[in-house]
Amino acid sequence: IQPLIFYYTLTGTTKIHAERLATTHFSETLSILSPILHDLAAIDLDDFFTTIPSSKDPTTAFFYLLLLPSYNVLDENNALAVFLAHLRDTHFDFRVDTAPLASLVGYTVFGFGDQGGWPGEEFCRQAREADRWMARLSAGHRAWALGTADVSKGDVEQRLEEWAGGVRVVMEEIVERGGGLGEAIEGSGDVLESEEEEEEEEEKEEEDEISSQPQQSIKPKKFRRMRPAQLSPTADLEDLKFPVPVNFTTESRSNLAPLPMVPASSPTHAALTKQGYTIIGTHSGVKLCRWTKSALRGRGSCYKYSFYGIASHRCMEATPSLACSNKCVFCWRHGTNPVGTTWRWSVDPPDMVFAGMKEGHYRKIKMMRGVPGVRAERLAEGLKIRHCALSLVGEPIFYPHINELVGMLHRERISTFLVCNAQHPDHLAALNHVTQLYVSVDAANPQALRQIDRPLHRDYWERFLRCMDILRERRMRQRTVFRLTLVKGFNIEDEAEGYAQLVQRACPAFIEVKGVTYCGTASATGAGLSMKNVPFWTEVVAFGRALEEALERRGMAYGIAAEHAHSCCLLLGDRERFWREGNWHTWIDYDRFFELCLGDKEFGPEDYIGEATPDWAGWGRGGFDPRDERVDRKGRAK
């Protein structure tokens, strides 16, 4: 028997359980091979759930174990929803056998859920649905009953161990019999077998209760609540043994009031608040950047100050949308923000979002008054927001009123630096002027993009390329920047040529090349990310040089304009547009930008170019402002 363990994970916890299950409970024997793990988000589902994978040894049979968490996410395109939809579509596909997985010697499912947060039918709902579909596709080869664990009770390991012990016994019995589940194994019948047994038991108990009551207290028997109200959408009409009630007055889900993205009572709200976010309304947030704290103390500023002249102590980092359509392996937001491909939540008005951002930011700035080393003049300047980085978490252009919000920022003379992930071309095309538009370009081919960004959209590469074309169309009206996050082992090796092709396609004004910042979270560990994937500064420089040469071979005049060695980040600029009088001019004239933006005339990036990039920020100079104090906590030479 070859056990195959399939799992789905957002934060890496389920993967940890799957790996522990494989190593602890299913050690290899003569008859039971060592389990093979598969991430449902990384495999081709047709290879495993439309047909059985082939084996070199014809005597080897497969046994499926599915470990599925429960996520209450309104999104049809996350990997878990796609998996359940695939099982359903395979069952209804007339081109596929009725039971394409019938050759499995068995399958079983284990679900992780939170009964406190999602009680009743929502508890382990995805695992229950998968169990039902697998029963149909495998011709009822459920080898062991569905196992569940409530994470709020803290006994997940115990429940998983009990379930795994039963599964192990079943495998050994199958080996002894030479294959086949046998009639004595619990749950080896039809998909609705357990539900029918429960109904029969409930009816019998009801009859016993009625017969034991006095005659005068017996009331006419009421109709039981019909099963379709409890079954998930995966139930077949052919499987139902009673008429299906139809209520023509019931409103569809789309007509009901939309739900909040991050309710105040949700675990997501609690997790983000614990990480230092101030949640605004139901879907926005603000947080004090660590570079803002550093700049207030005169200990250095963000790389954006070296590159563009953004004063870090006057910069607000915020987002109008905590939801994102990617699950990047290097995301340092701990994987606690919501995910989705379309906006399905209630929408807060932009004036409320803007007011909440300012209030939350100023409150955090004022909390810095008692911190040792804070400079009084910078604290006073920090109480007047000058810049806004719409890059905190999630996808800012996802917000339906993003243009109104950007307009409010500009009217208060706050510059806007907006970051998007190149997965929403329609939103990008509809975006009004921002001070600087970032696009995250984390891979040069569809395979690498899927591996590192883990996008939820199925047509993610087509969307990505459409965004590149939109950038090219708007390059003379919008100051555009490619943001390349380098992750060793994912997107550095032999990728310079591929990135050069994308630059040639989009023609951005600048290209930021930055080494990944390792955050050490479970989600990063679950994706195979460790400190080994963080490139050294010399490797970032080497990649920047290689990209510069690849662009030069294509006749494109890009050169390294600035650096911030502390952040492992360098900036390439378009020489034809931003090299003037022997100097790079990457800084921005913000006063001029507001004059142009609030005026009636069309303008482009060259119209608000600032003064020459300072010498200390230039190539080979390190990018540290000499007016600040360099502090090394480890006592090394400054």
* Lowest mean per-residue pLDDT among 53-62, 475-484, 536-545: 53-62
* Statement to judge: residues 162 and 309 lie in one domain: no
Res 26 pLDDT > 80 = no
Q: What is the pLDDT of residue 117?
A: 67
Query: Average model confidence (pLDDT) for the chain?
Result: 83
What is the C-alpha separation between 356 and 350, in angstroms, rounded? 10
In this structure, are residues 439 and 484 in contact, taking their beta carbons and an 8 Å threshold?
no
pLDDT in tens, 498-555: 999 999 999 999 999 999 987 765 455 556 678 888 999 999 999 999 999 999 999 9
Average pLDDT of the residues in 373-400: 92
% of the chain surpassing 70 pLDDT: 83
In this structure, are residues 41 and 209 in contact, taking their beta carbons and an 8 Å threshold?
no
Res 261 pLDDT > 80 = yes
What is the C-alpha separation between 428 and 430, in angstroms, rounded? 5
* Statement to judge: residues 387 and 502 lie in one domain: yes
Res 184 pLDDT > 70 = no
Rounded to 5°, angle at Cα 102 from 195 and 52: 125
* Structural domain span for residue 129: 2-194
Q: What band does 495 get if pLDDT is binned at 50, 70 and 90? A: confident
Which of 173, 194, 215 finishes a domain? 194
Highest average pLDDT, of 116-120, 202-206, 459-463, comes from 459-463
Res 620 pLDDT > 60 = yes
More confident residue, 522 or 298: 298
Highest average pLDDT, of 42-51, 224-233, 311-320, comes from 311-320
Which of 138, 160, 194 finishes a domain? 194
Q: What is the pLDDT of residue 75?
A: 52
* Statement to judge: residues 187 and 280 lie in one domain: no
Q: What is the pLDDT of residue 519?
A: 74
In this structure, are residues 482 and 512 in contact, taking their beta carbons and an 8 Å threshold?
yes
Q: What band does 617 get if pLDDT is binned at 50, 70 and 90? A: very high
Average pLDDT of the residues in 280-308: 93
How do 583-584 and 579-580 pair as beta strands?
antiparallel
- Is 263 part of any domain? no
CA distance between the termini of the chain:
61
- Is 460 part of any domain? yes
Q: What is the pLDDT of residue 610?
A: 94
Identify the CATH number of the domain in which residue 458 sits.
Answer: 3.20.20.70
Which of 158, 175, 194 finishes a domain? 194
Non-local CB neighbours of 132 within 8 Å, separated by 6+ positions? 191, 232, 234, 235
Identify the CATH number of the domain in which residue 154 sits.
Answer: 3.40.50.360
Q: What is the pLDDT of residue 638?
A: 54
Residue 327 in tokens: 């699950």
In this structure, are residues 306 and 564 in contact, taking their beta carbons and an 8 Å threshold?
yes
Domains in the chain: how many in total? Answer: 2
Q: What is the pLDDT of residue 526?
A: 56
- Is 183 part of any domain? yes
- Is 492 part of any domain? yes
The amino acid sitting at 181 is L
- Is 224 part of any domain? no
* Statement to judge: residues 61 and 164 lie in one domain: yes
- Is 630 part of any domain? no
How do 415-420 and 436-440 pair as beta strands?
parallel
Q: What is the pLDDT of residue 561?
A: 95
What is the C-alpha separation between 440 and 421, in angstroms, rounded? 5
Q: What is the pLDDT of residue 284?
A: 94
Crossing angle (nearest 10°) for helices 460-473 and 496-506: 50
Q: What is the pLDDT of residue 247?
A: 40
* Statement to judge: residues 143 and 46 lie in one domain: yes
SS3 564: strand
The amino acid sitting at 135 is A
* Statement to judge: residues 170 and 310 lie in one domain: no
Q: What band does 229 get if pLDDT is binned at 50, 70 and 90? A: very low
What is the C-alpha separation between 56 and 120, in angstroms, rounded? 45
Average pLDDT of the residues in 116-135: 84
- Is 478 part of any domain? yes
* Statement to judge: residues 186 and 90 lie in one domain: yes
Q: What band does 634 get if pLDDT is binned at 50, 70 and 90? A: low
Rounded to 5°, angle at Cα 452 from 447 and 456: 80
Average pLDDT of the residues in 288-294: 92
Non-local CB neighbours of 294 within 8 Å, separated by 6+ positions? 300, 301, 312
- Is 218 part of any domain? no
For residue 45, give the nearest of 160, 125, 130, 146 by alpha carbon. Answer: 130
Res 74 pLDDT > 60 = no
* Statement to judge: residues 181 and 317 lie in one domain: no
Q: What band does 361 get if pLDDT is binned at 50, 70 and 90? A: very high
Average pLDDT of the residues in 20-37: 83
* Statement to judge: residues 401 and 282 lie in one domain: yes
